[in-house]
Structure 1
Amino acid sequence: MRTNTNRFAAATTAAAAALALLVTGCSDNSTDNPAPTSKAAPAAPAAGNSTAEVDGKTIDARFDTTCAKQGGTLALALTDLNNTTYGNFSVSATLQGEDSVQAVAIAGTKGGSNGTPYAVGYGAGAPGGSAKVTKNGTTYTVTGEGVGGVDLTDPLAGPKNIPFEITFACTTVVGG
């Protein structure tokens, strides 16, 4: 069972990276504001600002936000290709319609335990985690829990669920 979870986390990370690379070419740079680094409860993001909070910590990042729609699927992505903590960092969510979260991936080329890449993922129907979405105009907030990577210093502990709250402030929706 742990092997399946590890495969899911790896697949989700790969999907997030591929999505980020795919949509970066048509990203909207208007949300290039750093997120606050305070450990206090985050304030609602200012209009047009995308943010990510993972495991109770606001990610300090300069996100490019991309929102693209094809058919009934909405792909949302945040990218910071030069993040101090996580290296090439991406956060993505795939929605079916505007109210059902199909997948969430949070990935960095560094920042995981013991020098490994950082990875948290959720997939509808896969064991572990949960996600829901709320919409306010063209801003989507995805909250829930994803499955995190295994700490290689204690691999028998297995992966753990990690809470997240992601705000995708879409100034435009490509294809929508």
Structure 2
Amino acid sequence: MNTKSVTAALAAAAAATALFVTGCSDNASSTPAKSSAAPATQAKTTPSGDSSASVDGKQLAAKFTTTCAKQAGTLALALTDTANGTYGNLSVSATITGTDTVQAVGIAGSKGGDSGQPYAVGFGNGMPGGSAKLTKDGNTYKISGEGVGAPDLTNPLAGPKTSKFDVTFACSSVVGG
């Protein structure tokens, strides 16, 4: 897989997960979207409390908002900080199916990557180059593992790098769950 497709796959996975979760969040200043699908319960976003994320042992300094929603056996978790000084629009997301299968983890920032590029680390179940493990305590979900980071475009022969991540989603509640 070439570096452009890895970067595109990471960005797409992070964006899709963030959009799924954001689409379920409650934003009082917006009008709900019309849909022909059955109505879904809307998730409430809350200040993060104990939610956190670290990559390669370095804590991401952020003022996260946490969103947690479950629908049809899929749990979507998201941490967002839309005005992060280091990463710009920072989102950390995970999708879990069944009781403990981590399908995807995405950590993405609109800035803060190598050589002025966006920041991205991602894991996708079944894709090479990563792993993820879930532990749960009530409505707190901890996911740790290893993901593939966006390659340094100034050195494309180096290929994508791997990064260890630890994410805690402290959900005040799980809508639909």
Q: TM-score range by the shorter chain?
A: 0.7 to 0.9
Aligned match of 1:136: 137
Bigger Rg, structure 1 or 2: 2
After superposition, the C-alpha distances for 1:7-32 in whole angstroms (9 at most, x for unaligned) are 3213213224423532443443232x
User: Which residues in structure 2 correspond to 1:88-167 (within 5 Å)?
Assistant: 88-167=89-168
Describe the shift of the 1:136–1:17 C-alpha distance in structure 2 as closer, same or farther (beyond 3 A): closer
Aligned match of 1:29: 46
Distance in 2, matches of 1:114 and 1:20, equals 29
Confirm whether residue 2 of structure 1 aligns to residue 19 of structure 2.
no
* TM-score, normalised with respect to structure 1: 0.85
**1:53 Cα offset (Å):** 0.5
Q: Is the 8 A contact 1:74 1:98 kept in 2?
A: no
After superposition, the C-alpha distances for 1:74-127 in whole angstroms (9 at most, x for unaligned) are 000000010010011100000002311000000111101111111111100111
Secondary structure of 1:114's aligned partner:
helix
User: Which residues in structure 2 correspond to 1:16-55 (within 5 Å)?
Assistant: 16-25=17-26, 26-31=43-48, 48-55=49-56
Describe the shift of the 1:101–1:115 C-alpha distance in structure 2 as closer, same or farther (beyond 3 A): same
Match of 1:55, as an amino acid?
D
Distance in 2, matches of 1:30 and 1:60, equals 14
The RMSD of aligned alpha carbons is 1.5
Q: How many residues align?
A: 160
Distance in 1, matches of 2:81 and 2:100, equals 26
Q: Is the 8 A contact 1:5 1:127 kept in 2?
A: no
Distance in 1, matches of 2:58 and 2:113, equals 14
Structure 2 unaligned residues grouped into runs of 5+: 27-42
Secondary structure of 1:12's aligned partner:
helix
Percent of aligned pairs with the same residue?
A: 59
Distance in 2, matches of 1:147 and 1:27, equals 30
**4+ runs deviating over 3 angstroms:** none
Match of 1:78, as an amino acid?
L
Secondary structure of 2:96's aligned partner:
strand
Distance in 2, matches of 1:53 and 1:27, equals 24
Match of 1:93, as an amino acid?
A
* TM-score, normalised with respect to structure 2: 0.84
Describe the shift of the 1:30–1:21 C-alpha distance in structure 2 as closer, same or farther (beyond 3 A): closer
